[in-house]
Amino acid sequence: MLTFVEVKTRRSGGLGRPSDAVTKDKERLITRGAQYWLKLLNKPDTPVRCDVVEVIVQDGELPKINVIEGAFRA
């Protein structure tokens, strides 16, 4: 399994979840990159997963991290 990960960070507040910033356009860009990478590796049948990691930062606290496995299809 080859995993492509998009990491989005937000400060706590009213901007929504970090994963909200992964738009359909961003998904298409990551998918295109994944397909190109598999072509370079000459491994077109390798299973692929696209994850999103959300990092939420609050002053004076450790960051909160949320991993969304298989957030979208490649």
What string of pLDDT tens digits covers the 74 residues of the chain?
A: 999 999 999 987 667 899 999 999 999 999 999 999 999 999 888 999 999 999 999 889 999 999 999 999 88
- pLDDT digits 0-9 by tens, 58-68: 889 999 999 99
pTM score: 0.88
How many CB atoms lie under 10 A from the CB of residue 41? 10
**Residue-level pLDDT at 44:** 85
Strand order across the 48-57 sheet: 2-11, 48-57, 64-72
DSSP for residue 28: H
Domain boundaries, the chain: 2-72
- CATH ID of 2-72, from 3.30.379.10, 3.40.1350.10, 3.30.300.20, 1.20.1050.10: 3.40.1350.10
CA-CA distance, 41 to 62, in Å (whole number)? Answer: 38
The tokens of 23 are what?
Answer: 């738009």
